């Protein structure tokens, strides 16, 4: 029975390490514990009765919740490893009665102290394999801290790139770009720049899927609100007379298709085309679509 408890604890630790690995260094569409926590926080915030996410806190709170779950689960896992071997395989500081400090709570205390690398030493393992295991837990604690910092440093630049692209689309939308204005080398270059930005955002959604759960309240930096305009822009540019503009329009259209595919495969599951997917994306983020979204396409002016 003791070894079963120990094996269960080791399994918990391995599950968390696997989730950290797949969240930061090998993201997959299969998700994991971190995705589940982020999605749960996102859905809970959606049921608060407000069209807009409360103060846009779903994403940051979700990340805090993920880190808390990682740390707590690792601590519990290592506590399950220690507990069956207490008090016989542990030394106690003077003044501590071993028989009175061998409960699951004491095992959790030892685990938390070790994970946080505090090294208080009032309860310490004495058996050989446990003495090796304790420093390994401290190493895992350091890995979790480093992983949290790396996660933050990765997600927030991805959000900045997404918001920059949305703002660029908003600029074009408010400038009333016409089909005639696209009939130039500058128009082709502009379309190429948008396609490049969309490709970057698509990769960000694959690499940092958690960035999806961040809400942008400002309409000009909210990408879900601007994608309808990007679809219309690509359609208008496809009718241009200049071959280079038509080619750039086809590249932009493909970039929009790729972004829609990633959004649908990993988050939305609509099974529809780009327009339907982007409409679902906008609804999920509390942004208008249709008559309240991008303006209708302008003809040649």
Q: Which tens digit of pLDDT belongs to each residue from 89-119?
A: 999 999 899 999 999 999 999 999 999 988 7
Residue from 287, 167, 299, 150 nearest 236 by CA: 299
* pLDDT higher than threshold 90 for residue 69: yes
- DSSP-assigned letter for residue 50: -
Q: How confident is the model at residue 47 (pLDDT cuts 50, 70, 90)?
A: low
50-54, 95-99, 168-172: segment of lowest average pLDDT:
50-54
Q: 93-97, 246-250, 287-291: which has the highest mean pLDDT?
A: 246-250
What whole-number distance in Å separates Cα of residue 93 and Cα of residue 117?
18
Q: How confident is the model at residue 28 (pLDDT cuts 50, 70, 90)?
A: low
* pLDDT higher than threshold 80 for residue 298: no
For residues 48-83, b (16+ Cβ closer than 10 Å) or e, as one string?
Answer: eeeeebeeeebbbbbbeebbebbbebbbbbbbbbbb
What whole-number distance in Å separates Cα of residue 3 and Cα of residue 9?
10
Q: How confident is the model at residue 295 (pLDDT cuts 50, 70, 90)?
A: very low
- CA dihedral for 93, 98, 101, 104, sign (positive or negative): positive
């Amino acid at each position: 029975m003791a070894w079963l408890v120990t094996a269960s604890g080791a399994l918990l630790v391995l599950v968390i390490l696997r989730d950290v690995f797949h969240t930061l260094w090998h993201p997959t569409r299969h998700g994991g514990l971190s995705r589940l926590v982020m999605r749960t926080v996102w859905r809970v915030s959606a049921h608060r009765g407000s069209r807009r996410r409360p103060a846009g806190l779903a994403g940051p709170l979700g990340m805090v919740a993920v880190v808390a779950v990682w740390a707590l689960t690792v601590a519990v896992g290592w506590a399950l490893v220690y507990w069956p071997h207490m008090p016989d395989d542990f030394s106690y500081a003077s003044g501590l009665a071993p028989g009175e400090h061998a409960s699951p709570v004491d095992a959790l205390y030892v685990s938390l102290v070790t994970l946080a690398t505090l090294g208080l030493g009032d309860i310490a393992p004495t058996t050989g394999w446990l003495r090796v295991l304790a420093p390994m837990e401290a190493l895992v604690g350091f890995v979790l801290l480093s992983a949290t910092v790396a996660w933050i440093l990765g997600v927030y630049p991805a959000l900045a790139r997404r918001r920059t692209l949305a703002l660029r689309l908003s600029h074009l939308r408010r400038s009333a770009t016409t089909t005639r204005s696209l009939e130039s080398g500058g128009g082709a270059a502009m379309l190429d720049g948008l396609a490049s930005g969309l490709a970057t955002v698509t990769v960000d959604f694959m690499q940092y899927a958690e960035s999806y759960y961040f809400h942008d309240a400002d309409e000009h930096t909210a990408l879900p609100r601007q994608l309808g305009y990007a679809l219309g822009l690509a359609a208008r540019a496809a009718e241009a007379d200049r071959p280079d503009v038509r080619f750039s329009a086809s590249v932009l259209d493909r970039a929009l298709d790729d972004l829609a595919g990633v959004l649908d495969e990993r988050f939305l599951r609509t099974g529809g085309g780009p327009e339907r997917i982007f409409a679902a994306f906008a609804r999920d983020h509390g942004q208008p679509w249709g008559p309240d979204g991008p303006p209708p396409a302008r003809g040649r002016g």
